[in-house]
Amino acid sequence: MERLFKLNELGTNVRTEVIAGFTTFLTMVYIVVVNPAILSAAGVPFDQVFIATILAAVIGTLIMAFSANYPIAVAPGMGLNAYFTSVVISQGVSYQVVFGTVFLAGLLFLLLTFTKFREMLIQSIPASIKYGITSGIGLFIAFIGLQMSGLVVASPATLVTIGDLRSPITALTILGLFITFVLIARNIKGALFIGMLVTALVGYFTGHLEINGIVSTPPPIVFFDIDIAGVFSHALYTVVFAFLLVTIFDTTGTLIGVAEQAGLMKDGKMKKAKSALTADAVATTVGSALGTSPSTAYIESSAGVAAGGRSGLTALVVAILFMVALFFSPLVSAISALPAITAPALIIVGCYMMEGLAKINWKKFDDAFPSFAIILTMPLTSSIATGIAIGFITYPVIKLVSGKGKEVHPILYIFGIIFAIQMVFFPAH
């Protein structure tokens, strides 16, 4: 195991990687319940999405584990599932047709992965933008944790405000945060995972974690419930483009952010970028054939990295746990239904991901503002892709008007224009 995943070389061990895998899984397992809930609104059978979500996650994460040796998990992405449902409702087409758009986007995604395009894209992104992406993702997942727990709530006057701290779930989240703070302050290994475990036990004994069942038989697998011909008859080309564009930059941004956090970026490059990028492309293609929206590298992987995960063994543990989840859907559903268990980890990991801000030259406006724009828009729009788009648009523009246009890689100009057009005419929301 140590040789296969190069644990000694990466400065880690089996125990740390297993704990990191459990930590990542617990922070992202909500997708097993949330994804079917969202896609069922588009008419897709709940059980079909449940098993498709798990199988897409397993396939993508196993590729990430063995081919790339990165501690990054893959699963159907949040935001993309909501867009899927909105297309079905707004376009008046069947969900099978929209699965056809996802399948085509996945194939294009896969073809691009076998070229040098995506690796070139990662290498062309300046350091300040990479740090901005990492920090923006940190704020985004911290904001998700705050929302999940009720620590911040919607407000008609100010959009968001502090929640009711006397609410049982919010109070349990605060307790979970405090417990995890203490563990981290005492340098306890696996503090995030232990914090979640203690919070779950408290939730169970106080009646907030309701477990109505443990084991169940997995639902049957449905293959190729898609309508590719319908994509052409309804001319849904812009939908294919939107899925492709959002998936590419969502997962690329996440890969950069998590890899940077894990110290896997060397001189601004990912050593096994092509292998890592293949994982989500395959998961998206296979997932659409099974019955789920596009897959992406998961930002919650940063929780496992924060717990010490550095190799593909972390991802392997996540994949195994997803397979196990097939048989424990009642238990998984119960745990993921109590946000106080995972919210503290997301909030704390958000803090960890702010580290890169110190490396941005804030006195150099043409570097600082695009990073600031990314950091600001990711949590406020609840979209990693939108934050990246803003960065790609503002960076070349500011450099150009500053007389430093030659410092910008040509591909950034191209994508700056593409993103501007996409955001104005084909917004994916």
C-alpha span between 308 and 175 (Å, rounded): 23
Token pair belonging to 64: 């990430």
Q: What are phi and psi of 257, to 5 degrees?
A: -60, -50
Give residue 401's pLDDT band: very low, low, confident or very high (50, 70, 90).
Answer: very high
Q: pLDDT value at position 331? A: 76
The answer to whether residues 26 and 196 touch, using CB atoms and an 8 Å cutoff, is: yes
Q: Does any domain span residue 1?
A: no
Geometric angle at alpha carbon 225, from 425 and 385, rounded to 5° = 30
Q: Does any domain span residue 168?
A: yes
Beta bridge partners of 297: 74
pLDDT digits (tens, 9 = 90+) for 306-356: 999 999 999 999 999 999 989 887 777 777 678 898 888 888 888 888 888
Q: Is 348 helix (H, G, I), strand (E, B) or coil?
A: helix
pLDDT digits (tens, 9 = 90+) for 255-272: 888 888 888 877 767 778
Beta bridge partners of 75: 296
C-alpha span between 307 and 318 (Å, rounded): 14
Q: Does any domain span residue 191?
A: yes
Q: Does any domain span residue 2?
A: no
Q: What is the CA radius of gyration of the chain?
A: 21
Q: Does any domain span residue 172?
A: yes
- The parent domain of residue 32 ranges over 7-425
Domain count, the chain: 1
Q: Does any domain span residue 70?
A: yes
Q: Does any domain span residue 376?
A: yes
C-alpha span between 6 and 141 (Å, rounded): 29
Q: Note the pTM of the prediction, 2 decimals.
A: 0.75
Give residue 161's pLDDT band: very low, low, confident or very high (50, 70, 90).
Answer: very high
Q: Does any domain span residue 296?
A: yes
